[in-house]
Amino acid sequence: MRLFEGTPWDRPPRCERCGELEADCTCPPPAKVLTPPEKQTAVLASENRKKGKVVTVVRGLAADENDLPRLLDRLKAACGAGGTIKDETLEVQGNHRERVRTLLVEIGYRVRE
């Protein structure tokens, strides 16, 4: 029972986009508002991991301001290597600083090393 239900003031909530009752609305959730790459600085490094493995690491990009899974896919494709996301750190297997830097700059990020 809503406040004012059955009275002239009764206004069931409607979706602002499709105009349907909220209960009937099938609009997708609003897209994330991402921060332009030009306003962000990615911090690039290569690090030694156990068993002599080297990984290329990208830090400084917030998960709620970037599509990190998509960025990781692009990095993996550019390097031809596997990779993973740990919290907000992107890791690509192997030493691919040149390729990672090139791609980040291409996308528009500022890069610090």
Task: Name the residues that contact Zn ion, by CB under 5 A.
Answer: 15, 17-18, 25, 27
Cβ 21 to Zn ion shortest distance, Å:
9
Closer residue to Zn ion (CB): 21 or 105: 21
Closer residue to Zn ion (CB): 18 or 105: 18
Torsion of Cα atoms, 16 then 21 then 13 then 1, to 10°: -170
Cβ 10 to Zn ion shortest distance, Å:
20
Closer residue to Zn ion (CB): 27 or 77: 27
CB-count exposure of residue 76 (10 Å: 0-12, 13-18, 19+) = middle
Residue with smallest beta-carbon separation from Zn ion = 15
